[in-house]
A and B are shown apart, each in its own frame.
Chain A
Amino acid sequence: MSNNERKRENLKQPPFINKIIHEPARLLIISYLYVLERADLIFLQNQTQLTWGNISSHVAKLEEANYVNIEKKFVKKKPQTLVSLTDEGRKKFEEYRTIMRQFLN
């Protein structure tokens, strides 16, 4: 990436903002997980109104970053996917909120 390209990229999004959390859909998911102890994908989908494909891919991305923990289990022979925020995810979200507050002020 050339210097000019990097400058342009920095103008679009400041480098200190956590890009994983900053994406609107993921921000919404992580906000819900921050206030809930655990939730399954159906509950998250109902709350966020995201499509099933969207929510699955965003949750997978958050899991890759180790921000969420996914627990798959069977309840009365039916699959249930429970998602919870990891300690790291919680910490990163708090950092993100602080940075955004400072940035916007």
Chain B
Amino acid sequence: MDENITKIDSYDLEKIEKKAFSSIFQDGIFDMILGYILVSYSLSTYLFDSLLPVWRAILSLIIYCIGIIGLFLCKRYVTQPRMGTAIFGYKRRNRQRILVIMTSILVVLTLVIMILTMTDTFQLGSLGYGTAAIFGGSILLFFMGLAFMLDFNRLYLTGSLFAIAIGLNEVFFVMNKTIYGYISQWTIGGIIMGIGITYFIIFLTKHPIKARENNE
């Protein structure tokens, strides 16, 4: 028991609350969603050149939706029962709501951009090098703000990587070397997903399902 007590440096209630709140990100699902958004977006734009318009749009949507829905289901049915349920105080509940809204906006925005790109309505790179700075910078600011608000330290790293990948993709698009843009997005998306998968495996190892069966 003593060693358990020493896991918390002191009886600082703020620290205890922060530790409890940050534990909701320890399953790595959020990182996997971020990484998957990058990978599936770049895969869709890559397919853009090699498939017929109808097929590329349908295939891109299928790839994107299957992954995102799969990860949300994984959170709901695999990690949530192992993690347990906690209802935080008013302040944290508001922040949790912001996280849900922001993640939904990110998912829907990617979907909209994907549809617009696939239907030839809009090209991100059409604004020149400024696009890289505008998109990369605003995405960086978005993730930094979110990480700060949620006390989610890992998001500083994954958010920065995400913003770099978007920026690089736009730079390469303007330079007419799109393949490097895809490669950078796959690589960085893969790294972010890798971080998420590592956390996911650690989480599953630490939290076997038998704990749930005993909850009677």
Contact = CB atoms under 8 A, between A and B. Distances in A.
* Residue from the set A35, A44, A46, A48 with the largest chain B CB neighbour count within 10 Å: A35
Contact of B86 (A28, A34, A43, A49): A43
A65 B215 CA distance: 22
B84 A82 contact: no
Contact of A46 (B7, B13, B84): B84
Contacts, number: 84
A28 B13 contact: no
Interface residues of B, number: 28
Contacts of A80: 85, 215
A38 B88 CA distance: 7
A35 B215 contact: no
A36 B86 contact: yes
A26 to B, nearest CB: 11
A42 interface: yes
B121 interface: no
B17 A36 contact: yes
Interface in B1-55: 1-2, 4-5, 7-8, 11, 13, 16-17, 19-20, 23
A25 B19 CA distance: 17
Interface in A69-94: 78-82
A41 B81 CA distance: 11
B214 interface: yes
Interface in A8-60: 24-25, 27-28, 31-32, 34-50, 52
A80 B7 CA distance: 27
Contacts of A32: 16, 20
A34 B2 CA distance: 21
Contact of A45 (B7, B20, B84): B84
Given A24-B5, A35-B89, A37-B88, A42 B23 contact: no
B75 interface: no
B83 A46 contact: yes
A31 B16 contact: yes
Nearest to A93: B13
* Residue from the set A37, A45, A46 with the largest chain B CB neighbour count within 10 Å: A46
Contacts of B81: 42, 78
B154 interface: no
B4 A40 contact: no
Given A35-B20, A36-B20, A48-B4, A42 B85 contact: yes
A41 B211 CA distance: 9
18 contacts: A24-B1, A24-B4, A34-B13, A35-B16, A35-B20, A35-B89, A36-B88, A37-B87, A38-B85, A38-B87, A42-B82, A42-B84, A42-B85, A42-B211, A46-B23, A46-B211, A47-B20, A52-B214
Interface of A: 24-25, 27-28, 31-32, 34-50, 52, 78-82
Interface of B: 1-2, 4-5, 7-8, 11, 13, 16-17, 19-20, 23, 81-89, 207, 211-212, 214-216
